[in-house]
Amino acid sequence: MVESTMGFYGAIVVVALFAFGVWIDYRKKKDENDAAHRERMKALELGFQPPDAEIARAKAYASAAWAAGLIGLFVPLVVVGLAFAGSIAALANVRTWENIAGPLTIGWLIAGASVLVVILRSLSVIRQLPRPTGEPRASAPQKQAIASPTGFREERLEL
């Protein structure tokens, strides 16, 4: 009886410690999110666009380019590999009186056309992706630093 109650209390202690750790982690992440939110709001108040949107946009473009590039690389390799394996299998199972030159030619023409289409289409997709620029977006007003005779920088907001 004593052993079961000790196990029960031990389980309660473990759950309480786990809940305390989760609460500490929640508070830490909430403070980080609040600080990031205050920073973004301050940047908007001063007329700057927060950089996180541009960073996310650049990552999205890079991942789309990688996907198109990998498709343009691996799909043709697989198609040529399958055409090669099919040709080997056909040549291994051919009877002496059968002529398989026609079917093999048609198969290789289809494989070559599909490889050409996939490569050209993936290059077209990569070329059509908008390139992220390092310049700020036109919708956000830009600040301009003006040197004053006193040595302090004055900033003017241009609309």
User: What does the pLDDT look like over 71-84, one tens digit per residue?
Assistant: 999 999 999 999 99
Beta bridge partners of 89: none
Beta bridge partners of residue 147, listed in sequence order:
153
Residue whose tokens read 């996939």: 118
Overall average pLDDT of the 53-68 stretch: 83
Contact present, 39 and 86 (Cβ < 8 Å): no
Residue 157 has pLDDT above 60, yes or no: no
Give tens-digit pLDDT for 21-39.
888 988 999 988 888 888 8
R_g over Cα of the chain: 32
Rounded to whole angstroms, how far apart are CA atoms 19 and 121? Answer: 52
Q: Indicate the residue type of 40.
A: R
Strand partners, 155: 145
Q: Which comes out higher in pLDDT, residue 87 or 49?
A: 87
User: What was the pLDDT predicted at 76?
Assistant: 95
pTM above 0.85, yes or no: no
Buried b (16+ CB within 10 A) or exposed e, 62-92: eeebeebeeebeebbeebeeebeeebeeeee
